[in-house]
Structure 1
Amino acid sequence: MKRHAHALAALALLALTTALPAPAQEARPAMHGKANPAAVVERGQVRFTVLTPRMIRMEWSPDGRFVDAPSQVFIDRDQPVPKFTTSTRDGVLHIDTASLSLAYTLGSGRFSPGNLSIRSKGFRTAFEWHPGQAETGNLKGTARTLDRYRGDVQVGTGKKLDLGQGLLSRQGWHLIDDSKSFLFDDSAWRWVEQRPCAECQDLYFLGYGHHYKEILGDFARVAGREPMPPRFAFGYWWSRYWNYSDSEIRELVENFERYGIPLDVLVVDMDWHRTDHLDWDPKYAKQDAFGQLVGWTGYTWNRSLFPDPAKFLAWLHGQQLKVTLNLHPASGVAPNEARYPAFARAMGVHDGKAIGFEAADKRYMRGLFDTVLDPLHAEGVDFWWLDWQQWPDSKKLPGLSNTWWLNYVFYTHMQLADQARAMIYHRWGGLGNHRYQVGFSGDSVIAWQSLAYQPYFTATASNVLYGYWSHDIGGHMFTDDTPEDQRHIDPELYVRWMQFGAFSPILRTHSSKEAGLRKEPWRFPPEDFAALRQIIDLRYALAPYIYTASREAYDTGVSLLRPLYYAWPDQAQAYDAGSEYMFGDDLLVAPVTRPMQDGVAKVSTWLPPGRWYDRNRGDVLQGGRTVTRDYALDEVPVFVRAGAVLPMNPPSVKKLQDMDNGAIVLRQFPGGTAHTRLYTDAGDSEGYRHGEYAFTAIDGQRDAHAATLTVGPRQGRYPGMPQDKQFTIELPDAGLPASVTVDGQPYTRSDDARPGHWQYDGDTLTARIVVPARSADQPLKVAVRFADPAADVAGLRYRMKRTAAAVEWLKYHWNSPAPLPDDVSLAAQLGRLIDYRPERLPALVKAFDARLAKLPSEVERTHADAKVKAHFARMIEAIGKD
């Protein structure tokens, strides 16, 4: 089967200077394998390098020769030298940092339990480590693929997915044995080479207690940062394994436009090239000269589907779409490929035979790019989907993972050859592969179990800095034993999967080549379609927040999506809440992963200590407890850190590649204070690595009586940066403002949300302040005082929505020409009544609550069917339950 981020200016400047140090721009990807000599302690056959207070490299070599070349995992050992002391007592070498105390018996040979120990200093989670000690508390990493897995169990074999070891452990330490990894040479395009010593030891000890975020930052310093994808990658990706034609893809793209659904990336699967003789049935499948199935590998456009590829790609770019094509390069380059003659000349081949694949052969890979892939890139292919799934290791260099090495080669080639920001889309190859995003998790089975497992799977990947998993949203395939009448998409499952996708690193739908797997949103019933479009729109609205979190991942090593124990390491519940995660610093997400009952899904969510705003109900909850709440089809369990300010896009943004950050919505939530930043850059260049970016500091405070928001002057510069910025401040679930001032000037209310005024939205209970465009270098201060006494709107939006839904249900089951009772009709329209008369908000809310209390009795007095009355009464009763 196919596998398929309080002094405003000072705060901003401080943030810019205290992140991981930005490397200087180089003509090639930066690698600095040799450590600062001041960090090195060498004694005969051993060498210790103090990389950070929490990370020590430990080498043993029989001839006292040590490795300074960068390795697959560790590429930048030249770090600022931390404070440490060295002493020798009774033949034992002691190295002490602020966090660790190492002891080694000099002259005792290879590292062993009897001659080497490291103990912690000052950690609540104390430890003493010796070589060979079992790491029983490891919090896992990630796996290469979810191919044919239903949840974490592989169909057919029953095999449980092995997530391997991550960098984090509840024991507070982790050891990385780098002794067998390959090295990089010093050529312009660094290439793989074997280590000179097979028996040498090269170990890295990470000792951190429960300071999880700090050790991830340390690892990012030494092993390379988690690179930012281009901004467009955070939009919606459409992908389907299907033999699309040029005309069909044009129709597909036009439908996205017709139905008002944003789209940024188009993935064209393997049918873009000739797939002659490809067959899954072993009776008909053919093998090539290299033992591979014929049809998987191809580099020549299928002209029956794409008569003029250059014009096709030009049209897609005219629609402001980025394009990626699928590659399975295992069969090398065959004589029937259009670019075979040029490749054969580059390889010095004259016999007309197929040229076998070898990723570790520099000449081969350079020739493949120069003669085959780069011309396709010049035609308009923006990046590659590298779908390697054949033999695991290089034939030329046994032990070198083909997956790992291909990821490196494709990513760094793009860095060296193009001004655009490097990105590939590929499978996980192992530790160190975090430097080459975005991941493709493979062909998961379409099932609720698969959806339920993916939040945990994605979160643990951050433990190895692999922060950009892209899943086949909706699932990829049915199992062979799925009955024919069940081989179709369950709309509810698909909606819930898309909701997880919107709150995951990459939002990409995909499925196997099966006629019943149609995931175009407009093919679903109206309720499902509305929920799908709503969640995609929310993803685009959140793009500035997500992009800022991506920058923070680059700076700190803390991924966009991560487990709760990063922030609450001493809370046992943070380790048990595997289906929950933090999405950036301010959003806690607990996706719905089970079917609804009676129209809602109940989800229990552990809220960490602190105060949390329920995005669905509009109330603020005290954390340190588990809450159980119900969620309709269009609702996602998302809790916002109380008082947070989220930078968001206005609804007009439909293409992230063209988002210039000239208009920003700042949504300020109730219940606390905020200190955050908005990050901006050009979006699609490598300039973000060497100073071409800007931060804007944001501070706020909001309670039931007042809200203040201060935006600092933008700090930094980048090409194409807009000079002006238009801010809209939104205060959801707010009482009616009594006064609004912007930079000390009073704003008046306007029902049409004109710039220089404020508006109150009755449906969302949101006060909206529209500030005219102004210089982005100019600070902004907004102050709101709410009416006193203020209407109690906490949880009101939930009651409004559920009441409207109950009344709608009642209408469809009324079966009488008589009108509904007046109070029933009015109870369903509170938002509209507030829109018409926002100044009457407290009175309208009071009247609504009175109506809500008597709705069952109002309907009970009618001639409606007894079952209808009873069901309506239960719906209204449920609104008052928490």
Structure 2
Amino acid sequence: MKRPFHALAATALLALIAALPAPARGAEPAMRGKANPAAVVERGQVRFTVLTPRIIRMEWSPDGHFVDAPSQVFIDREQPVPAFTTSTRDGTLHIDTDSLSLAYKLGSGRFAADNLTIRSRGFKTAFDWHPGLPEPENLKGTARTLDRYDGDVQPDTGKQLDLGQGLLSRQGWHLIDDSASFLFDDSAWRWVEKRSCADCQDLYFLGYGHRYEEILGDFAKVAGREPMPPRYAFGYWWSRYWNYSDSEIRELVEDFKRYGIPLDVLVVDMDWHRTDDLDWNPKYAKQDAFGQLVGWTGYTWNRSLFPDPAKFLQWLHSQQLKVTLNLHPASGVSPDEARYPAFARAMGVHDGKAIGIETADKRFMTSLFDTVLDPLHAEGVNFWWLDWQQWPDSKQLPGLSNTWWLNYVFYTRMQDADRERALIYHRWGGLGNHRYQVGFSGDSVISWRSLAYQPYFTATASNVLYGYWSHDIGGHMFADGTPEDQRHIDPELYVRWMQFGAFSPILRTHSSKEAGLRKEPWRFAPADFAALRQIVDLRYALAPYIYTASRQAYDTGISLLRPLYYAWPDQAKAYDAGNEYMFGDDLLVAPVTRPMQDGVANVSTWLPPGRWYDRNRGDVLEGGRTITRDYTLDEVPVFVRAGAVVPMNPPAVKKLQGWDDHAVVLRQFPGGSAHTRLYADAGDSEGYRRGEYAFTAIDGQRDTHAATLSVGARQGQYPGMPQDMQYTVELPDAALPESVTVNGKPYTRSDDAQPGHWQYDGDTLTARIVVPARRADQPLKVAVQFAGDAPDVAGLRYRMKRTTTAVEWLKYHWNSPAPLPDDVSLAAQLGRLIDYRPEQLPALVKAFDARLGKLPSEVDQTHADAQTKAQFARMMKAISAK
């Protein structure tokens, strides 16, 4: 069962989005607290609002006064009125939608087990709910932070991480008690306020059976959409807690260019500001007037490290880098801050004393932005990294989470600036915080256990729509007590963590201030460096696919990275595959999270029903089963829906900021058909919320005999949109085409991949059709026919790669001046032989397969030592057994 955009659903969705009113500047979009009166059923002390067929709001008020203001969680109750009926029988009110049947005994007071029930209608997973019913099969949500956790365990206390309750349950329902949440006022920059009734009940019942995707979409309608990060946020972020200087950062950026590593975001940790008297040793640490450790909070540049901040930021922008700075705002603003005089005047303070922070004080927060933060933003700081780790709740409004509220304040203030798309990164503050990306998961312990936990942690966060966790890739710090001789990065662990990072929402490396924690890719051995650069390049290649999935998350509530049970809710194994997840609609990822043995890591992967293409081996597999395959250091267990078309960037793209999106690679995988869409917008504005975007429909069919790919006329408009598009169609693991036509015009082969021709790449067994740039409002159809006697190349690429590896190993263990046997040398060069003579593909493949069986015996007849012969024979046997 595939759940990408279908044609009719896509049309209806676009119409719905277009009908939504444009958001007010400086406010969260669609913050409309009052529901359509036609959706409301009011009877004395109770009020029921049918928000969707699957969500009913239930209020009880002793005086019959109800809340219409938006709450922290539910900001848009003005939804299209779903079909429902009401009736009263024997003093009981009945409300029925096509999914739920509610019954409440009128005049019986507060909602309780004896006066309120909701039953399912038409769901395969039936339920009969009443208040107080436990929910043991909840599928979890997420946690505020992974600070100091080794996997899901806090080593200091042994405490297991609590992911709380998510919106989804295998029981088919979930209840949200919104009674104690705060409300928003109706000011221009909406602010928090307490509810007037402490005894009132404000409950939201979500009933959905196993229709998980539908209820996430419903929740997104009433609780706010999952906003898109700017396009550059999907590139590589470099971060390290280190007292970098201006010169050192410039050298770092030049090294990224020198070694060919793409980079889009530079994170500068807290040493950008003055950290005088900061000390980690409790014996020497000082506290300020507010009981906070001195040195953590700061807003004034350290001029010994950054003599001219404006020129430093200007230079970074000239390198097409976005910049974020770390903030620990707990101590407010002290008199030694450069902007203290302006801030004090704005606050009406004249005694020259430090001014403590109160996040719920609108005057404080407005003044902080006006006089302190906005000038830094104008200087060139693109967005803020909030690092609040202090007291949990507001002192002015007890019960208001400082984390939650700071996320709201910083994100919506950035929206108010209206210069660029809003972005922050901070910790999870609770339900409703999905509207303020990106999440910073904190300081996790460097271990295989931490890596193994993060895929599950990230996937379950989508159960509360928190789809953009950013982890400290590679881990933040060593476990307490780690011996000095072990306080260094394990290259294998780091490569595997980076591979997970590339298939995560945000790819950001980070580490604590420790000299041995050096994660620059070029500091590793050649094989590790090659694997690191390869995975970052793959991340940039996948950017169009990822960005399209981000738009899908905004439209539907289905996050980029999500558990398998969304699409396969009735498959028990989908709930057990905690290390696996879907990355967009078409990629299933099962990261390697354990060390290799004998040069490979064995990973068991449950493949859901359907057909799946193994990205590493190039073969198509039937799903509905668990398979075990081995992976070398540079391989990631990724399975693609058979027949999928994945839009990608050409290799030349090394920046996502200012991305020239007129050139796209459409990679069409074997084994089936596909319908998908390619999304594009301006990349760094809020216009995507207001209809400033474009979609291009793509349909394809590929089997062993032929491939067809249709690209529809682009629909939509956005500022700076290119009028022409240049498409390159790639068919990996394909036989040599017999014919290629584009819009009916025959294309001929060209070994240098000239536009208007096709090329065959022997190393990757890829047929590549390069279509010249053409108007994007014109449809395109590519048709490829393969020869009837074409060789079966499924799995051939795997055998080629492993054979090359075995021959390279043999050369380094060859203790003779004599050359290797001819068949051995030739077996390692099949890709090159095909490049030279693509038309001889059938004969070359046949000769290669014949050689493989002979290689061990040919080596056995040489003067190589017995140990070398035996190991080479084992390597070749492993290849032939796959």
Q: TM-score, normalising length from structure 1?
A: 0.99
SS at match of 2:406: helix
Paired residue type of 1:754: Q
Paired residue type of 1:769: I
Give the Cα separation in 2 of the matches to 1:45 and 1:855.
85
The answer to whether the Cα contact below 8 Å between 2:4 and 2:676 also exists between their aligned partners in 1 is: no
Give the Cα separation in 2 of the matches to 1:349 and 1:713.
61
Which residue, 22, 25, 37 being the options, matches 1:24? 22
2:735 corresponding residue in structure 1? 735
The answer to whether the Cα contact below 8 Å between 1:234 and 1:543 also exists between their aligned partners in 2 is: yes
1:311 corresponding residue in structure 2? 311
2:567 corresponding residue in structure 1? 567
1:200 corresponding residue in structure 2? 200
Single out whichever of 23-32 and 688-697 deviates more from structure 2: 23-32
Give the Cα separation in 2 of the matches to 1:693 and 1:231.
13
Give the Cα separation in 2 of the matches to 1:692 and 1:259.
37
2:407 corresponding residue in structure 1? 407
Single out whichever of 6-15 and 172-181 deviates more from structure 2: 6-15
How many angstroms does 1:787 deviate by?
1.5
How many angstroms does 1:659 deviate by?
1.1
How many angstroms does 1:156 deviate by?
1.1
How many angstroms does 1:22 deviate by?
4.2
User: For residues 522 and 22 of structure 1, do their structure 2 counterparts lie closer, same or farther at Cα, with a shift above 3 Å needed?
Assistant: farther
Asked if 1:424 corresponds to 2:424, the answer is yes
1:331-350 aligned within 5 A: 331-350=331-350
The answer to whether the Cα contact below 8 Å between 1:8 and 1:712 also exists between their aligned partners in 2 is: no
Give the Cα separation in 1 of the matches to 2:4 and 2:874.
50
How many angstroms does 1:25 deviate by?
3.4
What per-residue deviation string (whole Å, max 9, x for no partner) do you get for residues 709-763 of structure 1?
0000000000000000000000000000000000000000000000000000000
Give the Cα separation in 2 of the matches to 1:402 and 1:461.
20
Give the Cα separation in 1 of the matches to 2:170 and 2:643.
31
SS at match of 1:808: helix
1:290-301 aligned within 5 A: 290-301=290-301
SS at match of 1:658: coil
2:708 corresponding residue in structure 1? 708
2:586 corresponding residue in structure 1? 586
SS at match of 1:232: helix
Give the Cα separation in 2 of the matches to 1:300 and 1:461.
35
SS at match of 1:570: coil
Paired residue type of 1:489: I
2:823 corresponding residue in structure 1? 823
The answer to whether the Cα contact below 8 Å between 1:13 and 1:715 also exists between their aligned partners in 2 is: no
Give the Cα separation in 2 of the matches to 1:438 and 1:480.
28
User: For residues 196 and 286 of structure 1, do their structure 2 counterparts lie closer, same or farther at Cα, with a shift above 3 Å needed?
Assistant: same
What per-residue deviation string (whole Å, max 9, x for no partner) do you get for residues 112-140 of structure 1?
00000000000000000000000011000
What per-residue deviation string (whole Å, max 9, x for no partner) do you get for residues 777-828 of structure 1?
0100000001120111000000000000000000000110011000000000
1:651-800 aligned within 5 A: 651-800=651-800
1:70-85 aligned within 5 A: 70-85=70-85
The answer to whether the Cα contact below 8 Å between 1:729 and 1:769 also exists between their aligned partners in 2 is: yes
What per-residue deviation string (whole Å, max 9, x for no partner) do you get for residues 403-456 of structure 1?
000000000001112321101011100000000000000000000000000000
Paired residue type of 2:28: P
Give the Cα separation in 2 of the matches to 1:643 and 1:55.
36
What per-residue deviation string (whole Å, max 9, x for no partner) do you get for residues 7-43 of structure 1?
9998864552266964423223231000000000000
1:493 corresponding residue in structure 2? 493
Asked if 1:262 corresponds to 2:262, the answer is yes
1:509 corresponding residue in structure 2? 509
The answer to whether the Cα contact below 8 Å between 1:12 and 1:695 also exists between their aligned partners in 2 is: no
The answer to whether the Cα contact below 8 Å between 2:144 and 2:441 also exists between their aligned partners in 1 is: yes
1:183-582 aligned within 5 A: 183-582=183-582
Give the Cα separation in 1 of the matches to 2:841 and 2:24.
60
1:34-53 aligned within 5 A: 34-53=34-53
Q: Segments of 4+ in structure 1 off by > 3 A?
A: 5-15, 18-23
The answer to whether the Cα contact below 8 Å between 2:4 and 2:585 also exists between their aligned partners in 1 is: no
1:180 corresponding residue in structure 2? 180
1:846-865 aligned within 5 A: 846-865=846-865
1:629 corresponding residue in structure 2? 629
SS at match of 1:612: strand
Paired residue type of 1:350: H
How many angstroms does 1:660 deviate by?
2.7
Paired residue type of 2:704: A
Give the Cα separation in 1 of the matches to 2:65 and 2:94.
21
SS at match of 1:677: strand
Give the Cα separation in 1 of the matches to 2:9 and 2:336.
61
SS at match of 1:107: coil
The answer to whether the Cα contact below 8 Å between 1:442 and 1:472 also exists between their aligned partners in 2 is: yes
User: For residues 161 and 20 of structure 1, do their structure 2 counterparts lie closer, same or farther at Cα, with a shift above 3 Å needed?
Assistant: farther
Aligned residue pair count: 878
Give the Cα separation in 2 of the matches to 1:302 and 1:420.
27
Give the Cα separation in 1 of the matches to 2:18 and 2:700.
26
Paired residue type of 1:25: P
Give the Cα separation in 2 of the matches to 1:227 and 1:663.
26
SS at match of 2:534: helix
Give the Cα separation in 2 of the matches to 1:220 and 1:672.
32
The answer to whether the Cα contact below 8 Å between 1:9 and 1:715 also exists between their aligned partners in 2 is: no
The answer to whether the Cα contact below 8 Å between 2:425 and 2:440 also exists between their aligned partners in 1 is: yes
How many angstroms does 1:881 deviate by?
2.5
The answer to whether the Cα contact below 8 Å between 2:565 and 2:575 also exists between their aligned partners in 1 is: yes
The answer to whether the Cα contact below 8 Å between 2:153 and 2:161 also exists between their aligned partners in 1 is: yes
Structure 1 unaligned regions, length at least 5:
none
SS at match of 1:847: helix
Asked if 1:840 corresponds to 2:840, the answer is yes
User: For residues 630 and 35 of structure 1, do their structure 2 counterparts lie closer, same or farther at Cα, with a shift above 3 Å needed?
Assistant: same
The answer to whether the Cα contact below 8 Å between 1:544 and 1:649 also exists between their aligned partners in 2 is: yes
SS at match of 2:159: coil
Give the Cα separation in 2 of the matches to 1:414 and 1:450.
33
Paired residue type of 1:753: A
How many angstroms does 1:143 deviate by?
0.2
Give the Cα separation in 2 of the matches to 1:333 and 1:508.
30
How many angstroms does 1:661 deviate by?
1.2
The answer to whether the Cα contact below 8 Å between 1:238 and 1:508 also exists between their aligned partners in 2 is: yes
Paired residue type of 1:794: A
Paired residue type of 1:128: D
How many angstroms does 1:155 deviate by?
1.5
Give the Cα separation in 2 of the matches to 1:109 and 1:667.
61
The answer to whether the Cα contact below 8 Å between 1:239 and 1:508 also exists between their aligned partners in 2 is: yes
1:641 corresponding residue in structure 2? 641
What per-residue deviation string (whole Å, max 9, x for no partner) do you get for residues 162-217 of structure 1?
00000000000000000000000000000000001000000000000000000000
Give the Cα separation in 1 of the matches to 2:821 and 2:517.
45
The answer to whether the Cα contact below 8 Å between 1:8 and 1:697 also exists between their aligned partners in 2 is: no
Structure 2 unaligned regions, length at least 5:
none
Single out whichever of 24-33 and 658-667 deviates more from structure 2: 24-33
How many angstroms does 1:657 deviate by?
1.1
RMSD over aligned Cα, in angstroms?
A: 1.2
SS at match of 2:881: coil
SS at match of 2:844: helix
Paired residue type of 1:26: A
The answer to whether the Cα contact below 8 Å between 1:9 and 1:713 also exists between their aligned partners in 2 is: no
Paired residue type of 1:115: N
1:77-96 aligned within 5 A: 77-96=77-96
Paired residue type of 1:207: G
What per-residue deviation string (whole Å, max 9, x for no partner) do you get for residues 279-318 of structure 1?
1100000000000000000000000000000000000000
The answer to whether the Cα contact below 8 Å between 1:54 and 1:206 also exists between their aligned partners in 2 is: yes
Identity of aligned residues (%): 85
